Structure 1
Amino acid sequence: MNNNTDTLKRLMYIEDELDIRAVAEIALGQVAGFEIKICENGYEGIDVIHNFNPQLVLLDVMMPNMDGPQILKKIHEIPEFQNTPVIFITAKAQTEEIDKLKKLGALDVITKPFNPMTLGNDIRTIWQSYHESKR
């Protein structure tokens, strides 16, 4: 039951590194004003996605047990979330890696380290471009 309206309000970020989760929670929640759910792994993300119903999912690429591309596949296997947009956030920012992630269905890729003060606006810009391309 994905709520893809033009105004982005609710994000889920799945990230295994505690420090990055803490910075992202402040950057996206307090600074950017999003309702944010931070999960430490894909299993937690899959468990809470139905109750949280994010409009957009942010995914780290390299995580133990289930990596970002595997999580993307699992999320899109859930009928209500098969069209939920995803942005990958990764330190592996080579062109071929970015192209590969986009081919998997990502809207875009944000590189780490990200700027916490502009992260929210970067995500909004990607979101707006996505919605403009659907019109």
Structure 2
Amino acid sequence: MKYSNHDMEQMLDAVEHHLDRRDVIGYAAARNSRILRDELREYLKVRDELVMKYGEADVDEKGNPIGSVSLQVTSEKFPDFLDEIGRFSTIEHEPDLFKLKYDEAIGQLSGKELLELEWMFED
């Protein structure tokens, strides 16, 4: 199945919440995290470069830079970021994701968790 870079970025975020598990779901999460990171390598590099370009230095409570940069959705530069990242976010890939049977999730995942990881399961 094909997924856009944007979709895979959301999938990566969802699966990372399950990396501490010590069961087959944690195993699948770890494998799929690696697969998605490999697929997203260039996209994430572009995204991070654009955050550096359009973002602002993070500061501590005294206003001193702390060495990181972030981009807030409320920033006046955020639409420029979206315009530029949009060229890359729609590119599609067909990652060879590790799938589990839905039966493996019964009693292990909440309905909410199952919905966010449904791409990781099959009948």
Fold similarity call, TM over 0.5: no
Structure having the higher helix fraction is 2
Higher-RCO chain (CA-CA 8 Å, sequence separation at least 6): 2
- Give TM class, smaller chain: under 0.3
